[in-house]
């Protein structure tokens, strides 16, 4: 609970140390005295957005410090999560607001982010202001209120987990389906590559080897042609040199018979003819090394095919093999994606079934909850002087959402026999305040937050209705610390602890003080609330009787 609130230089409050007690704490004061500043201060120290306009004029900074004790397990868990010691049973929160617009938060003297202050605030204080009545007018908030009343989030958490898993699966599936068309085109391209290069089946460095073989075959063909020409000239043709030399040898032999000196010439010519034939025999060896026409054409065709493919893919024979292998792997991956697509499709179907079943279980639980909620709120409304008003919860089912398939709307029937209608069409401001208090009352039964703050919950009500609100706040204070800013005596008399907010003005400045009232001063303040500035003995007696009737 909130034990103490210290404020320095916050708006019209120069300095105030405000002790608070367990039970029902009421703040009263004249209009404009600065009661709302207290709420702003508490909101600031709990990490809510601040404004430099809150800093008292002429001051460099404002400071708000709140002391909470004892601490709940939820509060200790938040401290542990943020790395703060939770051993002591007291928590000191501080927020400093600079005139230049900056702010600093501290937890037990250590610097702390506003996020930690907010997280702690969610476990420490529940503040109800007039704008919170809008919850009743906004059907989109009603399902959260109903679930909060239930208190058991087991089914909702189970549904949320299944729904999130479904969303994750659906996102993956949608992404794969979106890319599927591109993959189909890519698959056609890859299969064309695999078919072309696979049929070609290029071997390592085959383009180089084929070029070498082609060049060798071309040289062999040229050599064979030249060798054939030499052979024709030396020994094979009709007019070859060998035959001419043989005839010359015969003629030279005849010459040597007539001229003995010519005999050596005949021997030399015969030896030359033998050498010529030896040369012709060796030259003939070059005529058999060439490829056949069919073999040469096959070699040339293979070379052209490999080179053409290499040029098309801007690579060589080894690169063609790499392209082929990469294409095979990519096709395998795409086909695996297709398998995954089928798996995800099946998984999404299965998860949709699970989510639907979880939503049905949650919806059935909420239907029962709505009946109990309507009954309990009805009891509270009857206590708050609205016995004819009946609240019902209209439950409808629709598409699956993060909250389930339910939509809840609070309807009220103002009089017996009248059909229920949306609250916004019927309720007045005072009725909204009492209805909100009824909600707070039934939620407080399951709420572990120790401190409830009500800022003018009595707006638009008076008389018996105000008395009932005061009694209800007193009743709530049995299990929660209640802090209420009010302008009605019916509420103030029910408080266990009464504080007065007073504004004092001089020619130079204005300030606000907060004072804890003893019984005598409390009687005077309640008499003032009842009758205005003129405090009569009758009003004092009435105020004293009201306090005594309330047990104060």
3 state SS for 182-226: HHHHHHHHHHHHHHHHHHHCCCCCHHHHHHHHHHHHHHHHHHHHH
Mean pLDDT of 81-109: 90
How far does Cα 267 stand from its chain's mean position?
Answer: 110
Mean pLDDT of 363-383: 93
Residue 487's Cβ-count burial label (10 Å; 0-12, 13-18, 19+) is middle
**With bands split at pLDDT 50, 70 and 90, how would you rate the model's confidence at 534?**
low
Instruction: Identify the CA nearest to 526 among candidates 484, 493, 495.
Output: 493
Mean pLDDT of 106-125: 93
Instruction: Taking each helix axis as running N to C, give the angle between helix 114-124 and helix 73-81, from 0 to 180 degrees, rounded to the nearest 10.
Output: 170
Confidence (pLDDT) at 473:
93
Per DSSP, the three-state class of 260 is helix
Confidence (pLDDT) at 278:
83
Per-residue model confidence as pLDDT tens digits over 167-183: 999 998 888 777 777 77
Mean pLDDT of 438-449: 83
Per-residue model confidence as pLDDT tens digits over 316-361: 989 999 999 999 888 887 777 777 788 889 999 999 999 999 999 9
Confidence (pLDDT) at 130:
59
Task: Please give the Cα distance from 195 to 343 (Å, whole number).
Answer: 29
Per-residue model confidence as pLDDT tens digits over 119-137: 999 999 988 865 666 778 8
Distances (CA, A) of 509 to 31, 192, 489: 18, 89, 30
Residue 455 DSSP label? E
Dihedral sign from CA coordinates of 449, 453, 458, 459 = negative
pTM of the full structure: 0.67
SS3 content of the chain, % helix, strand, coil (to 5): 60, 20, 20
**With bands split at pLDDT 50, 70 and 90, how would you rate the model's confidence at 220?**
confident
Instruction: Identify the CA nearest to 300 among candidates 221, 227, 225.
Output: 221
Residue found under tokens 């937890």:
107
pLDDT at 287 over 70: no
Tokens representing 513?
Answer: 């003080």
pLDDT at 65 over 80: yes
* Conformational region of residue 268, where left means phi above 0, alpha means psi within -120 to 50, and beta covers everything else: alpha
Confidence (pLDDT) at 3:
95
Mean pLDDT of 413-418: 82
Which strands make up the sheet holding 390-401, listed edge to edge? 390-401, 404-413, 421-422
pLDDT at 230 over 80: no
Confidence (pLDDT) at 103:
92
Dihedral sign from CA coordinates of 94, 95, 98, 104 = positive
Confidence (pLDDT) at 289:
63
Confidence (pLDDT) at 132:
67
Task: Please give the Cα distance from 67 to 91 (Å, whole number).
Answer: 6
Residue pair 146/373 in contact by the 8 Å Cβ criterion: yes
pLDDT at 255 over 80: no
Confidence (pLDDT) at 94:
95
pLDDT at 433 over 90: no
**With bands split at pLDDT 50, 70 and 90, how would you rate the model's confidence at 226?**
confident
pLDDT at 61 over 90: yes
In the predicted model, what is the mean pLDDT of the chain?
A: 86
3-state secondary structure 34-100: CHHHHHHHHHHHCCCCCCHHHECCCCCEEEEEEEECCCCHHHHHHHHHCCCCCCCCCEEEEEEEECC
Q: Which of 543 and 286 is assigned the larger pLDDT?
A: 543
Confidence (pLDDT) at 131:
62
**With bands split at pLDDT 50, 70 and 90, how would you rate the model's confidence at 240?**
confident
Task: Please give the Cα distance from 517 to 498 (Å, whole number).
Answer: 6
Strand partners, 516: 499
pLDDT at 96 over 90: yes
């Amino acid at each position: 609970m909130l034990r103490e609130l210290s404020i320095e230089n916050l708006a019209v409050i120069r300095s105030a140390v405000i002790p608070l007690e367990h039970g029902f704490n009421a703040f009263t004061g004249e209009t404009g005295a600065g009661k709302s500043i207290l709420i702003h201060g508490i909101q600031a120290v709990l990490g809510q957005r601040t404004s430099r306009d809150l800093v008292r004029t002429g001051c460099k900074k404002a400071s708000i410090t709140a002391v909470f004790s004892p601490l709940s397990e939820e509060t200790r868990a938040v401290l542990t999560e943020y790395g703060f010691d939770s051993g002591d049973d007291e928590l000191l929160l501080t927020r400093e607001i600079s005139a230049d617009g900056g702010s600093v938060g501290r937890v037990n003297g250590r610097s702390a982010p506003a996020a930690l202050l907010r997280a702690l605030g969610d476990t420490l204080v529940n503040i109800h202001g007039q704008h919170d009545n809008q919850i009743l007018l906004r059907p989109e908030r009603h399902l959260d209120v109903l679930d909060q009343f239930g208190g058991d989030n087991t089914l909702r958490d189970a549904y949320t987990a299944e729904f999130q898993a479904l969303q994750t699966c659906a996102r993956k599936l949608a992404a794969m389906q979106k890319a599927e068309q591109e993959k189909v085109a890519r698959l056609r391209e890859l299969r064309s590559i695999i078919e072309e290069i696979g049929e070609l089946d290029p071997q390592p460095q085959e383009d180089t080897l084929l070029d070498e073989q082609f060049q060798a075959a071309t040289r062999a063909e040229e050599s064979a042609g030249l060798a054939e020409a030499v052979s024709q000239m030396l020994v094979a043709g009709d007019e070859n040199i060998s035959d001419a030399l043989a005839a010359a040898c015969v003629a030279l032999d005849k010459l040597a018979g007539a001229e003995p000196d010519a005999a050596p010439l005949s021997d030399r010519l015969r030896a030359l003819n033998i050498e010529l034939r030896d040369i012709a025999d060796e030259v003939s060896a070059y005529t058999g090394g060439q490829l056949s026409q069919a073999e040469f054409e096959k070699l040339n065709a293979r070379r052209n095919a490999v080179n053409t493919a290499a040029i098309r893919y801007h690579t060589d024979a080894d690169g063609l093999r790499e392209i082929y292998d990469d294409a095979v792997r990519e096709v395998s991956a795409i086909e695996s994606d297709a398998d995954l697509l089928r798996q995800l499709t099946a998984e999404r179907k299965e998860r949709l079934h699970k989510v639907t079943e979880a939503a049905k279980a949650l919806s059935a639980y909420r239907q029962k909850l709505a009946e109990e909620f309507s009954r309990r709120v009805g009891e509270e409304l009857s206590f708050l002087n609205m016995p004819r008003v009946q609240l019902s919860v209209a439950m409808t089912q629709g598409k699956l959402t993060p909250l389930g398939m339910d939509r809840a709307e609070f309807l009220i029937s103002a009089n017996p026999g009248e059909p229920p209608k949306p609250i916004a069409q019927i309720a007045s401001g005072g009725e909204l305040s009492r209805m909100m208090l009824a909600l707070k009352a039934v939620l407080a039964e399951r709420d572990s937050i120790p401190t409830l703050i009500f800022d003018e919950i009595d707006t638009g009500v008076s008389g018996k209705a105000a008395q009932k609100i005061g009694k209800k706040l007193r009743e709530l204070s049995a299990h929660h610390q209640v802090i209420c800013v009010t302008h009605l005596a019916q509420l103030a008399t029910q408080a266990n602890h009464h504080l007065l907010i007073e504004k004092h003005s001089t020619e130079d400045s204005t300030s606000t003080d907060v004072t804890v009232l003893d019984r005598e001063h409390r009687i005077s303040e309640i008499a003032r609330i009842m009758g205005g500035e003129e405090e009569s003995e009758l009003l004092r007696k009435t105020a004293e009787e009201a306090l005594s009737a309330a047990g104060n």
